[in-house]
Amino acid sequence: MARELTVISNPKPRVPKPEWLKIRLGDPVNQNHVLKLIEGLNLHTVCQEARCPNIFECWSDRTATFMLGGDICTRHCGFCAVGKGQPGSLDADEPRHVAEAVRQLNLAHTVITSVNRDDLPDGGAAHWAETVLQVRKLNPECKVEVLIPDFNGDENALNAVLDSQPDVLNHNTETIARLYRRVRPDADYQQTLTLLRRAAERRDREGRGMLTKSGIMVGLGEAFEEVVELMRDLRAVSCNIMTIGQYLQPHARRLPVERFVTPAEFDRWREIGMEMGFKHVESSPLTRSSYHARQQAEAPSDHNERTYVT
């Protein structure tokens, strides 16, 4: 039975954006090059679908985050601009097209994400794995970062992706546990932590160099210390990299911004995270999951990483 999309009423006027949320417009020549390439290969990017504020900067550097499985998501998150509903069939040529785009853009580090495909028995995991393998086949020197859905907690689906040996396994926590019912009604906080723990445990068993990563948005009603508690939870499952960015309401039918977090608070979260043992914490108003992804993965640790246990 199809689930109806709940439209979020937003009686409050939008809060004006502060000065620190201004973005830099990039070179339209490179932006148009990326756009034509993506359209020519019938691909989708999260840069476009999620209305990322960094699209001008990233596309000027001829980089993009590819989005698998179409542009319709089966989940009903209150923050996301991606279309909701019943998606179509998977494009069997998509893995090869992503690999070709990576080659044509000459990327050293590519990020691949997807919509949620709860309509598929494996959540699209086999499609994921085939894409990573195709990217590696055409681009053997390119590092591959995957930003995966939770696959409804299916460990076999997770292992199918891990079998393709990504360099970075990212799964976003998105928000604090208290706000999950409002922000991520189809997801579960503990299930997210379990996915990250399983990925890290397999990596450690097999002696891989893979990094695990997760990110959140702030400005949805969380308290400063609740973010710190979430950071503790991520370190307890051996998460290596964390991203923290300001939530921006994509349109009127999505959750409103409760407040704009100051740059000083972002800086403090970064300091706390590094003290906890994260390899890297990318924390700023315009930070998004794949923003500066290559630099995050290559960043040296200031100290030896450790499992953080409260």
Q: Is residue 3 part of a domain?
A: no
The pLDDT value recorded for residue 250 is 79
Q: DSSP assignment of 58-84, as one string?
A: HHHTT--EEEES-SEES---SS--SEE
The pLDDT value recorded for residue 210 is 96
Taking the C-alpha atoms of residue 61 and residue 58, their distance in angstroms, rounded to an integer, is 5
Question: Is pLDDT at 32 greater than 80 in this prediction?
Answer: no
Summarize the confidence of residues 238-253 as an average pLDDT.
91
Q: Is residue 253 part of a domain?
A: yes
Which of 190, 202, 196, 213 minimizes the C-alpha distance to 294? Answer: 213
| Residue showing tokens 């620190």 | 20
Q: Is residue 7 part of a domain?
A: no
For 205, list phi and psi in degrees, rounded to 5.
-65, -40
Taking the C-alpha atoms of residue 270 and residue 184, their distance in angstroms, rounded to an integer, is 24
Taking the C-alpha atoms of residue 306 and residue 239, their distance in angstroms, rounded to an integer, is 10
Query: pLDDT tens-digit profile of 101-140?
Result: 888 888 888 889 898 999 999 999 999 999 999 999 999 9
Output b/e per residue, 110-121; b: 16+ Cβ within 10 A.
bbbbbbbbbebe
Which of 63, 165, 147, 65 minimizes the C-alpha distance to 107? Answer: 63
The pLDDT value recorded for residue 81 is 75
Residue 159 is part of which domain span? 25-298
Q: Select the highest-mean-pLDDT range: 42-46, 65-69, 81-85, 222-226.
A: 222-226
- Among the listed ranges 65-79, 139-153, 184-198, which one has the minimum average pLDDT value? 65-79
In the chain, pLDDT over 70 holds for what percent of residues? 76
Taking the C-alpha atoms of residue 36 and residue 132, their distance in angstroms, rounded to an integer, is 23
What CATH code is carried by the domain that includes residue 184?
3.20.20.70
Question: Is pLDDT at 55 greater than 90 in this prediction?
Answer: no
Taking the C-alpha atoms of residue 256 and residue 79, their distance in angstroms, rounded to an integer, is 8
Q: Is residue 147 part of a domain?
A: yes
Q: Is residue 15 part of a domain?
A: no
Taking the C-alpha atoms of residue 76 and residue 184, their distance in angstroms, rounded to an integer, is 7
What value, to the nearest 5°, has the Cα angle with vertex 217 and ends 130 and 302?
80
Q: Is residue 310 part of a domain?
A: no
Q: Is residue 69 part of a domain?
A: yes
Name the E strands within the chain: 44-45, 65-68, 72-73, 83-84, 109-114, 143-147, 168-170, 211-218, 241-246, 280-283
Q: Is residue 43 part of a domain?
A: yes
- Among the listed ranges 22-31, 238-247, 287-296, which one has the minimum average pLDDT value? 22-31
pTM of the full structure: 0.81
Taking the C-alpha atoms of residue 181 and residue 188, their distance in angstroms, rounded to an integer, is 8
Question: Is pLDDT at 146 greater than 70 in this prediction?
Answer: yes
Which of 60, 75, 65 minimizes the C-alpha distance to 30? Answer: 60
Number of domains in the chain: 1
